Amino acid sequence: MSLNITKLDTASADFQQQLKSLLAWDESDDLEIQHRVLDIIADVRKRGDAAVIDCTNHFDKRSVSSALDLELPKEALLSAWQSLPVDQAQALQVAADRIRAYAEHQKLQPWQFTEADGTVLGQKITPLERVGLYVPGGKAAYPSSVLMNAIPAKVAGVGELIMVVPTPRGETNALVLAAAYLAGVDRVFTIGGAQAIAALAYGTDTIPAVAKIVGPGNIYVATAKKLVFGQVGIDMIAGPSEILIICDGKTNPDWIAMDLFSQAEHDENAQAILISDDADYLLAVEQSIHTLLPTMERADIIKTSLTTRGAFIKVANLMEAAEVASNIAPEHLELSVEDPEALCQHIRHAGAIFMGRYTAEALGDYCAGPNHVLPTSSTARYSSPLGVYDFQKRTSLINCSPAGADNLGKIASVLARGESLTAHARSAEYRIK
Amino acid sequence: MSLNITKLDTASADFQQQLKSLLAWDESDDLEIQHRVLDIIADVRKRGDAAVIDCTNHFDKRSVSSALDLELPKEALLSAWQSLPVDQAQALQVAADRIRAYAEHQKLQPWQFTEADGTVLGQKITPLERVGLYVPGGKAAYPSSVLMNAIPAKVAGVGELIMVVPTPRGETNALVLAAAYLAGVDRVFTIGGAQAIAALAYGTDTIPAVAKIVGPGNIYVATAKKLVFGQVGIDMIAGPSEILIICDGKTNPDWIAMDLFSQAEHDENAQAILISDDADYLLAVEQSIHTLLPTMERADIIKTSLTTRGAFIKVANLMEAAEVASNIAPEHLELSVEDPEALCQHIRHAGAIFMGRYTAEALGDYCAGPNHVLPTSSTARYSSPLGVYDFQKRTSLINCSPAGADNLGKIASVLARGESLTAHARSAEYRIK
């Protein structure tokens, strides 16, 4: 199985232009999909449960007659958990414990301080009251994703976590339900698509409205999430998965080839890039790819991904590698080098950094602890991994003493009059002694 | 000047329905505006500076010929600052210092911990590299808004802060430029509208692309921000300003009337609501409104706002007031009561809470310290005030020891095979001893 992977070199005059073409990813907004999703949302807002039932029967080929049948009984989660093979149950449990332990470090804490005149300023932290978790059905249903989305919400103190998961033809996924049990999901509805997002955003008689919706989904789900944003909060809209590996040429090339495969196997649009200052090493990894590819279950997907979106980039030195990586702002960044701590100092943008030859990105996907929901498509320039902080919010607190109000009132009065907002000014002036 | 304000009572059978109607605010997406904005964005992406110049000359009635003329020289900011009357300069300086002092408390800190097997997990914090700050032109140009948006960005460590502000017919606003100087804005371009947002999002030869755009604007600016989201980060899309006051009937009714006016004077759609358990007090505040209204410069705006969107809500007791307020999730919440700390414990959602009779909301607008950019339209259910954290981002760090990779590799292998992702599994398995 031969495979042609794009080769770039920072020494080329047109490197920046070539890199830009390689990274280009424009999930063009499909107007037709938008209109279909808008119709579904409008229908759910208008007809509630009846619309959700109609969509579910139509799209998921089911024959539900009562909205009550859309909810899975809690016992279904428990029995899914109890029916797991012991090795899977143990692995899920360890992963959940580690995700929870890491998440505990992310909890926002309230704070306040008192000024000399007795005025108190601070910030209050409150968890979101109710959150919706979308879980895709079928082959893209990953129990690890349930843990990664649900556990930070529960650590934040979210009161009620509502999971929705489509069950085409009524088929449930035992691993997903077991993960939901383990993560402490409160209620599960077997609905999906834009109708599930609309139901969570606006609520129906049966499905309670939430404050925020998280979790991955197909283009209909992503479009619906964008369209209900404002009514509820949403997490990011994820693009294709990405890995960028910087290697100094001293890691076993088979390891690096397999790390590249581990992103490429996600889907044809996934992007796997290797950067090295060692040209011979790039050849060695290419050889490993050729040798290993035929042994992979998802060889076709991997081949398409690596051929159309993958690349090897030759750099002059590791500092240049850090610069190129920062400009790419990848979702996953492996620093497979001798001194990853030193190199890490020079990375400005990445979703997660996997340091050292032993830290395979796949460890982070499942059980290292940090979240696997990460900013894609260069959005690590301005956004962060999913975390406990996404399920908490801040409220500013101001408690002026009479002396503080006297001081601040004089300042506010001048500024408010400068902006011609005299009610503001007079409101402040009432509090001046 | 007579004024009819809506009266609600939680004792009424249809209170919830009436409250829902009162709060309803649907800024319907105007398709025509969207198409016009999409055209402008496409034009700026295609023609860069030339498109920005054409739009600016057209919409702002200017006659710019070179893109270089779109940038204000730094000396213009300094001289605006130096030309300020001393009371305004001092007031701005105190406000800036207080905003900065509060913001310092919000800085995210990196953390890491080492596990028993030597594996290190942590979180790295990086400021955004370059941020765009939109400032409206004309009468809605508020120097306080420049401070509130710019200072947290600089405290976060943003490398370059680019301000855009339209200058219709070439007229600049000295107070706004002085505030920009004081806040440490790095560069200022005299452009506005959708063309300014597009230029910041995609960059032109003259205007550098940013990672995130913050700041208020009209419907074209808001629409453009929504449309470029993903290419860059954006702050919230603000709805009309809101104040909700809970009063136990013991604050001077004139003070409360003026506090309501201070939101109502912003615009006709602003929403000012007073909740009390004291029916006589509600009558007293109404009397104050009637007396004070004719003395207000913006009496017409205040009257329209209070008549169409304002309300007095009679509750049975203050606990019920806290419940109603939490369900409204207001941008600004005044607790004008004897024991605001106790009542604050029962507030689940609000952008900022102003505690005690002396803490006029207007003090927070200018100089108390906390940000005045706050979640509106009930989005306090899931979002936070603008803060330093909006200009920093997190990156997960994972550094597995060989022993850690051995432990985690076994777990990841089981889970990856459970998800049929065998490249993931084999990548992890390579690191097992």
| pLDDT (tens digit per residue) in B43-73 | 999 999 999 999 999 999 999 999 999 999 9
Q: Please give the average per-residue pLDDT across B348-357, as a whole number.
A: 98
Q: Which residues pair with residue B187 across a beta bridge?
A: B162
Q: Please give the average per-residue pLDDT across B225-245, as a whole number.
A: 91
Contacts of A354 in chain B (CB under 8 A): 398-399
Q: Which residues 94-123 of B are in CB contact (within 8 Å) with A? A: 94-95, 102, 105-106, 111, 113, 119-121, 123
pLDDT of residue A139: 63
Average confidence score pLDDT of chain B: 95
The DSSP code for A356 is S
A368 vs B: CB within 8 A: yes
Q: Is A218 annotated as a binding residue?
A: yes
Q: Which residues pair with residue A8 across a beta bridge?
A: A313
Residue with the bigger pLDDT between B237 and A185: it is: A185
Query: What are phi and psi for residue B155, nearest 5 degrees?
Result: -60, -35
Residue B156 has pLDDT above 70, yes or no: yes
Q: Please give the average per-residue pLDDT across B74-88, as a whole number.
A: 96
Provide the 3-class DSSP secondary structure of residue B340. helix
Q: Which of A90, A396, A402 sits opposite B371 (nearest CB)?
A: A396
> A369: phi > 0 → left, psi -120 to 50 → alpha, else beta; which?
left
B246 touches B281 (CB < 8 A): no
Contacts of B261 in chain A (CB under 8 A): 423, 426-427
B256 touches B285 (CB < 8 A): yes
CA distances from A58 to A62, A69, A274 (A): 7, 16, 44
- A366–B411 CB contact, under 8 Å: yes
Q: Please give the average per-residue pLDDT across B412-428, as a whole number.
A: 96
A322 vs B: CB within 8 A: no
B8 touches B314 (CB < 8 A): yes
Q: From the candidates A35, A374, A414, which should be mutated to test the interface with B, based on the most B CB atoms within 10 A?
A: A414
Q: Give residue-wise pLDDT tens across range B97-122.
A: 999 999 999 999 999 999 999 999 99
- Residues lower than pLDDT 70 in chain A: 1, 27-29, 139-140
pLDDT of residue B27: 65
Provide the 3-class DSSP secondary structure of residue B291. helix
Q: From the candidates B426, B431, B433, which should be mutated to test the interface with A, based on the most A CB atoms within 10 A?
A: B426
How far is it between the farthest Cα atoms of chain A?
84
- B395–A380 CB contact, under 8 Å: yes
Contacts of B365 in chain A (CB under 8 A): 412, 416, 424
Q: Which of B254, B341, B431 sits opposite A430 (nearest CB)?
A: B254
B415 vs A: CB within 8 A: yes
A298 vs B: CB within 8 A: yes
Q: Please give the average per-residue pLDDT across B145-157, as a whole number.
A: 98
B215 touches B235 (CB < 8 A): yes
CA A373/CA A351 separation, integer angstroms:
9
Q: Which of B212, B264, B400 sits opposite A358 (nearest CB)?
A: B400
The ipTM, to two decimals, is 0.96
pTM value > 0.90: yes
- A367–B87 CB contact, under 8 Å: no
Annotated binding site of B: 134, 195, 218, 241, 263, 266, 332, 365, 419, 424
Kindly write down the DSSP assignment for every residue of A176-188, as one continuous string.
HHHHHHHHT--EE
Contacts of B408 in chain A (CB under 8 A): 363, 366-368
- A6-24+240-368: CATH topology: Rossmann fold (3.40.50)
- A31-111+127-234: CATH topology: Rossmann fold (3.40.50)
Q: Where are the domains of chain A?
A: 6-24+240-368, 31-111+127-234, 400-429
Where does A128-211 show beta strands of DSSP type E?
A: 130-134, 160-164, 187-189
B142: closest CA of chain A, how far (Å):
6
Q: Give residue-wise pLDDT tens across range B25-36.
A: 876 667 789 899
Answer whether B6-24+240-368 and B31-111+127-234 agree in fold.
Answer: yes
Q: Which of A126, A360, A427 sits opposite B262 (nearest CB)?
A: A427
pLDDT of residue A271: 97
pLDDT of residue B346: 98
Annotated binding site of B for NAD(+): 134, 195, 218
Q: Which of B124, B348, B411 sits opposite A95 (nearest CB)?
A: B411
